[in-house]
Amino acid sequence: MSPLRQHVDTRLAPPTGLAAPARGPATSRGEAPVLVVGAGIGGLAAAVLLAAAGVPVQVLERAPQVGGKMRAPQVAGQAIDAGPTVFTMRWVFDELCEAAGTRLDHLLALEPCEVLARHAWPDGGQLDLLADPQAAVDAIARFAGPYEARRYQGFCERAQRISRTLEGPFLRGTRPTPLSLMWRAGWRGLPDMLRISPFGTLWQALGRHFHDPRLRQLFGRYATYCGSSPFLAPATLMLVAHVEREGVWRVRGGMHRVARALAALAQRHGAHLRCDTQVTRILVQDGRANGVELADGQRLAAQAVVFNGDASALSAGLLGDAVRPALPALPRARRSLSALTWCGVTPVQGFDLSRHTVFFSGDYRAEFDDLQGRRRLPVEPTVYVCAQDRGDGGSGDTTPVAERLLVLVNAPPAGDLAPGTPGHLSDEEIASCESRTFAHLARLGLRLQTPPANWLRTTPTDFERLFPGTGGALYGAASHGWRASFTRPSSACRMAGLVLAGGSTHPGPGVPMAALSGQLAAAQVLADRASTRSWHPVATSGGTSMR
């Protein structure tokens, strides 16, 4: 049973959408709220579930809008998704909405993708990875031959086994360890657990499945979904292939609508949301987190604090010295990748883009040697382009003359290094990578107006400013080695009253994983609340006098 179903009454109300919020259990008058610091997807999911359960909740967000990494900056007067661009694992949000007395279809308009992504290589090869299983097999047969198509089928079967093996004991588990994973699987599930190849790398496993190096490169890119190298990430990341085959959706109006919908749902259940509100310190009394201090000096009491920022910000002391011991520090070498991105509104010429298009480098290993070994921007990067005004069909779509594009290349997490420090990315290095990126696109047929005429560029330093304590790393710790999945912080940490959520915590990065972390955080708060019913901090007008 999931933590969500254990602790939240799913019979709160009929699924009538936002117009009829559910009534949770009555709360004590004057009871201090649960303070959720950060309105990313994890924090919003926690707020929805806690508010639906009748717990007083207040969400505090330093940015002017909700969403965290699910950003949509304005470029040339248009909103462009500058963070996550695909919606997967719909069941996570179906369950969340059910627990809050509504249905996902009442909150968002989702359109299934028929083309998961279009891929292009310097040798002129091009492949659409299709959502329909048989159509995908046929496309790969035309691209790489019938033997590779059969190998692809075997790869998908293995990805499905991995996904089914890990969903219950790992994704929904509160604090999985190798031993607990085996225990939760049970003796009947032990053979499947041993077959998921936890000790091999993704690149090694792909070499056993595919002979065509281009397919190995295509599916190796799944490691970058969690900011990692396919040469170091575990083979279990093959499960991403099954996740995508289960469904990838476009969100009508943009991915930022997901965050806005969850925020509205939380508010309908009584949660209070405050944007442009920076938390500078988490307050601790008698070894327990019991409030926060804001940038204006105001102090707010809390029965618990859910921190939905990057976990490394706590150990770095950015939320005060009192909570430093809550988590071990994340070494710089264990950070996930950052990115260098451009958001623009521009005419597109040459290449027939799909909504999601990947332009691969000619040497994947050299690219990751640059990123992971030399800690520099790649000489020849793989480039992801999200054409946000297109559907699946490319040229068959009706698109404006100037299209909204997100262009992204991977980058080392060096956003907190001072100029002159080894590894610092200078303006000259960034400008050189920019030139190489758009030249690479042109070589593969895509001609765009060269930045920076009407483009918004975001560097690892900018990501560090947006998400302090990360160095620009976008996914918490890198998933390198078989132990990595078991070392992410869980919802519970070393400090009472402090609960963690977000992509840097278990079960990992990505929109659905962050939502799962929010479910786990809500379950932790409710469990702690049930075990400490005699402890009720009381909110007072104008803040508190906590030291």
Can you give the pLDDT of all 547 residues of the chain as single tens digits?
Answer: 444 444 433 322 322 232 223 333 334 446 899 999 999 999 999 999 999 999 999 999 999 999 999 999 999 999 999 999 999 999 999 999 999 999 999 999 999 999 999 999 999 999 999 999 999 999 999 999 999 999 999 999 998 888 777 765 555 556 655 444 444 445 444 454 445 456 689 999 999 999 999 999 999 999 999 999 999 999 888 888 888 999 999 999 999 999 999 999 999 999 999 999 999 999 999 999 999 999 999 999 999 999 999 999 999 999 999 999 999 999 999 999 999 999 999 999 999 999 999 999 999 999 999 999 889 999 999 999 999 999 866 554 556 688 999 999 999 999 999 999 999 999 999 999 999 999 999 999 999 987 666 799 999 999 999 999 999 999 999 999 876 766 788 899 999 999 999 999 988 899 999 999 999 999 999 999 888 764 444 443 333 323 3
C-alpha span between 193 and 186 (Å, rounded): 10
The contacts of residue 121 (CB under 8 Å, 6+ apart) are: 214, 217, 360, 362, 444
Q: Can you give the C-alpha Rg of the chain in angstroms?
A: 23
Q: Provide DSSP, 60-115.
A: E-SSSSS-TT----EETTEE---S---B--HHHHHHHHHHTTS-GGGT--EEE-SE
- Give whole-number Cα distances, 192 to 159, 239, 447, in Å: 12, 14, 47
Query: Residue 509: which of 279, 301, 228 has the closest Cα?
Result: 228
CATH of 3-7+30-109+254-330+478-531, one of 3.50.50.60, 1.10.110.30, 2.160.20.10, 3.30.1130.10: 3.50.50.60
Query: Residue 317: which of 305, 329, 304 has the closest Cα?
Result: 329
C-alpha span between 322 and 377 (Å, rounded): 37
Question: Which residue in this structure is represented by tokens 């991105």?
Answer: 341
The contacts of residue 105 (CB under 8 Å, 6+ apart) are: none
Whether the Cβ atoms of residue 55 and residue 525 lie closer than 8 Å to each other: yes
Q: State whether residue 37 is helix, strand or coil.
A: strand
What per-residue string of b and e applies to 483-494 under the rule 16 or more CB within 10 Å gives b? ebbbebbbbbbe
Q: ω before 328 within 30° of 0 (cis)?
A: no
Helices (H), 470-533: 484-487, 511-531
At position 221, the amino acid (one-letter code) is R
Q: Provide DSSP, 395-442.
A: GGS---SEEEEEEEEEE-S-TTPPTTSTT---HHHHHHHHHHHHHHHH
Per-domain residue ranges of the chain: 3-7+30-109+254-330+478-531, 132-246, 337-466
C-alpha span between 431 and 88 (Å, rounded): 34
Q: ω before 452 within 30° of 0 (cis)?
A: yes
- Give whole-number Cα distances, 492 to 34, 61, 311, in Å: 15, 21, 12
Query: Residue 205: which of 235, 160, 239 has the closest Cα?
Result: 235
